[in-house]
């Protein structure tokens, strides 16, 4: 990771990721102007945000070349997050009626 | 007394201690912001009416803020890359730009918040504003925290470069990870609150 050619290549990647993130930001704002129906708007917004977030995590945070242990930590975290998100949601859609 | 594994990798984890420490901390931050996003979702689903974000909030200003924060993430990683290239001068430049971008973000946030307060749009007014101020306020506090650490590493903390450059580089990398996370949260906050 300390090799100069390596770092130069990484810097080129950072610039490309930056340009992509700018483009995706413009795209997400432009699509919001279309006032799509809510389910489509939510899906598009979250997909674009996930791609942007994925790029930041993979390249700026070096996750794409990180050790497996970090993937396990994050994988477990994501599992916990979806549990925290989906359990209350499930109870909302499956209430006890008297 | 030397703190072990600040540079050398621990044989069991394969990482230096600072890196695994910051990732564990970020995992806890995912749960914090994740819980609040889930709160937003529950509130919105349970509400009879919910305003479109762009009918109340300033989308152009927030778009500028998104660009500012993403740019600051680039300058942050460039600061670390400069240290890897042994260019302390460039590190100072990029780290300084990162902190300045943080100031820029907070300035725009201040403009947004004060305009809201001026028009009586307080967190107590309705549920949308309550969750908006909570999410963006907590995020703003994280921006301030990140700026304090980044400022320290730009200023007095940079002394470590002379005595232990690899340890200093790792510190910059770890604070960079926190800063990227702050950017990541905003990348989700912006469309969810402002565009939907």
Q: What is the mean pLDDT of residues B148-169?
A: 96
Q: How confident is the model at residue A5 (pLDDT cuts 50, 70, 90)?
A: confident
Judged by CB atoms closer than 8 Å, whether chains meet at B177 and A61 is answered as yes
Question: Token pair 């070349």 is at which residue?
Answer: A65
| Per-residue pLDDT at A32 exceeds 90 | yes
Q: Comparing A17-26, A81-90, B137-146, B186-195, which segment has the lowest mean pLDDT? A: A81-90
Q: How confident is the model at residue A98 (pLDDT cuts 50, 70, 90)?
A: low
CA distance B86 to chain A (A): 10
Selected for mutation to probe chain B from A70, A71, A83 (highest B CB count within 10 Å) is A70
CA distance A95 to chain B (A): 13
Instruction: List, for residues B11-43, the tens digit of each pLDDT value.
Output: 888 899 999 999 999 999 999 999 999 999 999
Domains located in chain B, CATH noted? 17-195 (1.20.120.80)
Instruction: List, for residues B52-110, the tens digit of each pLDDT value.
Output: 999 999 999 999 999 999 999 999 999 999 999 999 999 999 999 999 999 999 999 99
Contacts of B192 in chain A (CB under 8 A): 45, 49
CA distance B165 to chain A (A): 12
Contacts of A91 in chain B (CB under 8 A): none
Task: Determine the pLDDT at residue A1.
Answer: 45
Q: Comparing A63-67, B125-129, B150-154, which segment has the lowest mean pLDDT? A: A63-67
* CA angle (B174, B177, B178) in 5-degree steps: 95
CA distance A98 to chain B (A): 19
The complex scores an ipTM of 0.90
Comparing alpha-carbon positions, the chain A residue that sits nearest to B72 is: A18
Task: Determine the pLDDT at residue A41.
Answer: 94
Contacts of B29 in chain A (CB under 8 A): none
Judged by CB atoms closer than 8 Å, whether chains meet at B187 and A53 is answered as yes
| Per-residue pLDDT at A2 exceeds 60 | no
Q: Helix axis angle, B88-118 relative to B127-154, nearest 10°?
A: 160
Judged by CB atoms closer than 8 Å, whether chains meet at B45 and A89 is answered as yes
**Percentage of residues in chain B having pLDDT higher than 70:** 100
The answer to whether the beta carbons of residues B139 and B185 sit under 8 Å apart is yes
| Per-residue pLDDT at A86 exceeds 60 | yes
The pairs formed by B97-103 with CB atoms below 8 angstroms and a separation of 24 or more are: B97/B72, B98/B72, B98/B150, B98/B179, B99/B147, B99/B150, B99/B151, B99/B154, B101/B68, B101/B69, B101/B71, B101/B72, B101/B75, B102/B72, B102/B143, B102/B144, B102/B146, B102/B147, B102/B150, B103/B147
Instruction: List, for residues A38-52, the tens digit of each pLDDT value.
Output: 999 999 999 999 999
Contacts of B86 in chain A (CB under 8 A): none
- Assign B10 to helix, strand or coil: coil
Instruction: List, for residues A56-79, the tens digit of each pLDDT value.
Output: 999 999 999 888 889 999 999 999
pTM: 0.94
């Amino acid at each position: 990771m300390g090799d100069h050619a390596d770092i130069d290549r990484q810097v080129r990647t950072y610039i490309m990721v930056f340009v992509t993130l700018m483009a995706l930001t413009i795209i997400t704002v432009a699509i919001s102007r279309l006032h799509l129906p809510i389910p489509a708007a939510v899906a598009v917004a979250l997909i674009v945000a996930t791609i942007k977030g994925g790029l930041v995590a993979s390249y700026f945070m070096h996750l794409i070349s990180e050790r497996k242990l970090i993937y396990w930590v994050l994988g477990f975290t994501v599992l916990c997050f979806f549990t925290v998100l989906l359990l209350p949601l499930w109870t909302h859609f499956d209430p006890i009626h008297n | 007394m030397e703190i072990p594994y600040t540079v050398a990798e621990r044989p069991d984890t394969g990482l230096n201690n600072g890196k695994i420490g910051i990732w564990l901390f970020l995992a806890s931050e995912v749960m914090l912001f994740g819980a609040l996003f889930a709160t937003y979702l529950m509130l919105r689903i349970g509400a009879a009416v919910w305003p479109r974000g762009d009918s109340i909030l300033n989308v152009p200003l927030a778009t500028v803020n998104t660009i500012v924060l993403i740019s600051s993430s680039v300058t942050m990683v460039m600061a670390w890359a400069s240290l890897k290239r042994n260019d302390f001068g460039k590190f100072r430049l990029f780290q300084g730009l990162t902190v300045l971008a943080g100031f820029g973000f907070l300035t725009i946030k201040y403009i947004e918040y004060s305009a809201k307060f001026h028009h009586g749009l307080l967190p107590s007014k309705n549920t949308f504003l309550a969750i908006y101020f909570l999410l963006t306020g907590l995020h703003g506090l994280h921006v301030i925290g990140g700026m304090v650490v980044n400022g320290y590493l730009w200023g007095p903390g940079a002394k470590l470069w002379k005595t232990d450059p690899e340890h200093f580089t790792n510190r910059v990398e770890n604070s960079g990870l926190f800063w990227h996370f702050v950017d990541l949260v905003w990348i989700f906050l912006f469309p969810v609150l402002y565009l939907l």
